[in-house]
Amino acid sequence: MKLNRRQFNAILATSVGTMAAPVPLLGQAKPKVVVIGGGAGGATAARYIARDGKGTIDVTLIENSKTYTSCFFSNLFLGGFRTFDSITHSYDRLESDFGVSVINGYATEIDRDQKAVKLRDGSSIAYDRVVVAPGIDFDYESIPGYSKEAADLAPHAWQAGPQTRKLHELMNALTDGQDIVMLAPPNPYRCPPGPYERASMMAHMIKTKGFKNSRVTILDVKPKFSKQALFSEGWQEHYPDIIEWLPPDIHGGVINVDAKAGVVETDLDTFEGAVLNIIPAMQAGAIAKTSGLTDESGYCPVDGASMRSRIDNDVFVIGDASIAGAMPKSGFSANSQAKIAAMNVRGDLSGSKVFAPKYGNTCWSLISAENSVKVGAQYSANEQGEIVADSTFISATGESTDLRSLAYRESVGWYSAIVADMFG
């Protein structure tokens, strides 16, 4: 059927008003996509849209940092298994090999009426579709006494970069008899097994240095955690006198954190640490909220069939900022969601075919040298557009060292593969 302009405009108006399927912008000069945030989600989305669009779509990536330091494998850096350089990556190839325009800057707001992204330097960039992938920001007020400033003394290191280096520096200054205190965050947060892998790496460092009198105490606001049986078994075997995990019914709640004094006060007791690793509650990266894309949970509702925002048809939200049903907030998930969003963006803008989504995730955690455990799943979207797990797997307790070593090598291979998939 051939449409005249009036019929076309009527369909466009209906599609925006009722959130029906968008009309392809076929025939327009060169459609524009802006991606906000160049992490596991955003870098992958930018690369796939540019690569598969073969020069027919203008792709701009706005990223606040000049390089990307991954949170994934940052615990291995803390444990001495990786260098900082090996977890830090450049955006150069996205520009040179895929034609993505990478802008080093901070996006302050999406003007959804004008379809433009505003930057802190006052400039703005027009878009036909925008992919929002800012990761997380912190709710510092979730912990009495803690603040953005206090994070310089008691780092969360839950966004990688200077915070990771700070925690590494503090850990390396530890002497025998001094302790580490970690405050683990409430659900939902990025990387559910992350705090417990980190505690393992801290204990590994203490053991490797030959310290006999230092402890890692985890004060948790949750009564249970991801891969708990596997971590508990590993800690019993490798760090029986080093790691202590205290759930809320034991410590009774955190009353105050004094980063300067190195003290966490709880209902039960006062814990002193030469290193405090305080991880606050999280929410979607600020731009998602300032642009009206979040709901009362602080994260962004999306249609799991496409990763399209449920609030605005021209917006896709991927990675930690999205509410992705059964998928955990992980780099693997963000990368997987990015490819579905990229396919749908291209479908909107060039009419290319769009398929039902298949997502995947595996989270590996290193407990001690060559001893990794994993949990993962395959996912699809149900009729309500919620992401649901179709099949799941998890390492077993009591596994052989060979299997654990194989899982570790798998994780190293995965790291190389995801970084290549993000940055080319």
Tokens 């994070």 appear where? 151
From the list 22, 194, 273, 298, which residue makes contact with ligand FAD (rule: CB under 6 A)? Answer: 194
**What is the enclosing helix (H) or strand (E) of 167?**
helix 162-172
* Helix runs in 274-386, H state only: 286-290, 331-350
Q: Based on CB atoms, which residue is closest to ligand FAD, 24 or 301?
A: 301
Distance CA 396, CA 407 (A): 12
From the list 49, 57, 59, 107, which residue makes contact with ligand FAD (rule: CB under 6 A)? Answer: 107
CB of 250 to ligand FAD, least distance (A): 24
In single-letter form, the type of residue at position 346 comes to R
Q: Based on CB atoms, which residue is closest to ligand FAD, 235 or 423?
A: 423
CB of 9 to ligand FAD, least distance (A): 33
Q: How many residues bind ligand FAD (CB under 6 A)?
A: 38
Site string for ligand FAD, 341-380 (x = CB under 6 A): ----------------------xx----------------
42 lines the binding site for ligand FAD (CB under 6 A): yes
List Cα–Cα distances, 371 to 130, 316, 339, 366, 414, in angstroms: 41, 37, 31, 6, 16
CB of 189 to ligand FAD, least distance (A): 9
Q: Based on CB atoms, which residue is closest to ligand FAD, 74 or 306?
A: 74
User: For residue 72, which of 424, 423, 411 has the smallest C-alpha distance?
Assistant: 411
Say if CB 100 and CB 53 are below 8 A apart.
Answer: no
41 lines the binding site for ligand FAD (CB under 6 A): yes
Pull the structure tokens for residue 410: 């798998």
211 lines the binding site for ligand FAD (CB under 6 A): no
Ordered DSSP codes for 77-110: HHHTSS-SGGGEEESHHHHHTT--EEEES-EEEE
Distance CA 67, CA 85 (A): 11
Radius of gyration of the chain (CA): 23
CB of 265 to ligand FAD, least distance (A): 25
37 lines the binding site for ligand FAD (CB under 6 A): yes
Site string for ligand FAD, 267-306 (x = CB under 6 A): ------------------x-x-------------------
In single-letter form, the type of residue at position 424 comes to G
Q: Based on CB atoms, which residue is closest to ligand FAD, 72 or 231?
A: 72
CB of 267 to ligand FAD, least distance (A): 27
From the list 15, 64, 86, 178, which residue makes contact with ligand FAD (rule: CB under 6 A)? Answer: 64
Please give the residue whose beta carbon sits closest to ligand FAD in the complex. Answer: 39
185 lines the binding site for ligand FAD (CB under 6 A): no
Distance CA 225, CA 62 (A): 35
Distance CA 342, CA 332 (A): 16
Site for ligand FAD in 117-156 (CB under 6 A): 133-135
The b-or-e profile of 353-384 (16+ CB within 10 A means b, else e) is ebeebebebbbbbbbbeebbbbbbbebebeee
Site string for ligand FAD, 304-333 (x = CB under 6 A): ---------------xxx-------xxxx-
Site residues (CB under 6 A) for ligand FAD?
36-42, 62-65, 68, 71-72, 74-75, 106-107, 133-135, 158, 190-191, 194, 198, 285, 287, 319-321, 329-332, 334, 363-364
